[in-house]
Each structure stands twice: as structure tokens, then as C-alpha cells.
Amino acid sequence: MKFRLLVRSIVAIVLAGAATRSALVRAQQPDSLQARDALTITVVNQPDLSKKYIVDQDGSVMLPLVGRVQVAGLSPNALANELRRRLSEFLTDPQVRVDLERPRRIFVFGGVSSPGMYELTEHMTLIELLARAGYGGAAEALIIRSKGAKAPVLPSDQNASDVIRVNLREFEKDLEEGRLSRNVLLQDGDTIFVPRRDPNRIYVSGQVHSAGAYSIAEGTTVLQALALAGGPTERASLGKIKIFRLMDGRQKSINVKLEDIVKPGDTILVPERLF
């Protein structure tokens, strides 16, 4: 809960400073031009034609003399050749150069409300990106690091040079203690995947006030798990609590104490006290 409140606070700060710039990513070649790219087109000895252009959302640009040109999917060299061909109707042997100025980008998808591509700002961290993307309280985030990637990279992709797992429940505990070591500084080309399935979930049933599934941090005790479920009822038999745990492919029943540590996937059963 505290972590979500922190995220909401960061959302307010981020949105006050700059609007989120995101777009769904389409598969294409790494050097191919796409919407919102910045192009510097230089025509030798033609200063009126040499300037910077932004590719429109439909993948085209409007240029003097030649009119609108569809550039999405072309490489800078291919576009230079096409402009040279078109300008040759007006100029003698035109020399054209196209330079691509693409901002640094990162990608986020999975359990967020606004997946897509985001511009990487200076010193952007994981928590800032999750705030921008509409993080909904998942327990884990994966950072798939592939320097300069132009499209999302999966953990199994051969281009993924590194996969960083961040336990957001542990992150919550760190924040309460003033530690920010898990707040990873993002890099150009990073893909952040937020699993929709919570790998840190446990189930609490029986004599508790709010039976159900709960996400836990590492080192959570049985007593803390009961607190997540609203605490035991007055009819709970705290001395006979059992955990059902998958071990060696079989479901086993374990008698536990309140100070014992629970594990992801556990089902805690609090039986009724017999009078």
C-alpha cells in the first residue's frame, strides 16, 4: 500500500514536469525510419532545402520542391537516394545526405495500463518509468537489457545481454528504510516487463477476517501473512496452523509456528478452535 502511494506521488511529479510520450512499437529494421524521427536533410549548396524535419505520424515528411515523401521503413541512405532522384528534376547532380537523430528509447509492457515506447530522459529510474506507464501493484519487474534496442526484447531473445529481476515487494521494504539500491537506473534500449502473474503470491484461508490471495516480500512470517489477511478471528486455533506446500511435485501439509517463514505458492490454513 505504501509503495502504491509512493508511485502515485511520483506520477504527479512526473506528469507535472512533462507529458508521457508513448507509442505502440511496430516491428521493423533497426535503422529504418519511423514516425516522430528527427531527420536532418542536407542538400549541398542548397541552404533553403537543408533543414531538420520531423516524420509525421503517417510516416511521411513534406519537403520543398518534391512535396510529400513516404519515408517510414526506409533507411537514411535509401531516403537520400530517393531525394536525389526526385531533386534531379530541378537541380543538376544534387548531393543529398540524411542524418537520423533518434532519441534514446525504452520499452515497457505487461501488467501496466500504458504499455509501449517511451523516451529515455536523463537519469530515469525504474520507479519513474513504472509511474509513467501506470504500474498497478505487481510484485516483480524484469529489466531486459539490450543496448540500443529499437524494439522490445524478450528474456529468451538472443539479443538480451542481461536480465535484471527486481522484487517490488522487497523494494517496498527498502523504501521504508530509506534504501534505493533496487531503483535501477535505466539505459537506452531497456525493455521492462511487468508480469501479470504474481510469482510471490500466497493464499490464506480458514479463520481469518479476509481470506484470499496476497503478495508477500521475502522473509514474511506466518504471523505477518495472517496480518495481511486481516488477522485471525476469535475462533482461530493459532497452535494448529498448517501450510500446504508443493514439494518434489507433491502437495504436502506442514505444521507451522507463527514465526516460521512462508514461501511463494503456500496455502495457509487457520483451523477453527474446538471448545
Q: What is the CATH number of the domain that holds 213?
A: 3.10.560.10
Contacts of 253 (CB under 8 A, 6+ apart): 242, 243, 244
Whether 133 and 220 share a structural domain: no
Beta strands in the chain (DSSP E): 22-23, 38-43, 51-54, 60-63, 67-70, 96-101, 105-110, 116-119, 140-145, 162-167, 191-194, 201-206, 212-215, 242-247, 250-255, 267-270
Binned at pLDDT 50, 70 and 90, residue 26 comes out as: very low
Whether 142 and 167 share a structural domain: yes
pLDDT in tens, 66-101: 899 999 989 999 999 999 999 999 999 999 999 988
- Which residue stretches of 18-93 are H helix? 76-87
Boundary of a domain, candidates 194, 227, 262: 194
pTM above the 0.75 mark? Answer: no
Whether 136 and 170 share a structural domain: yes
Inside any domain, residue 211:
yes
Structural domain including 21 reads 2-27+104-194
- Could you tell me if 262 and 215 are in contact, meaning their C-beta atoms sit under 8 angstroms apart? no
pLDDT in tens, 192-217: 988 877 777 899 999 999 998 888 88
Whether 97 and 108 share a structural domain: no
Count of the separate structural domains present in the chain: 3
Whether 174 and 157 share a structural domain: yes
62 — phi, psi (to 5°)? -100, 120
Inside any domain, residue 32:
no
Inside any domain, residue 80:
yes
Inside any domain, residue 113:
yes
- Could you tell me if 212 and 270 are in contact, meaning their C-beta atoms sit under 8 angstroms apart? no
Identify residue 199 by its one-letter amino acid code. Answer: P
Most confident of 143-152, 162-171, 212-221, 224-233: 224-233
Whether 244 and 119 share a structural domain: no
What was the pLDDT predicted at 80? 93
Inside any domain, residue 275:
no
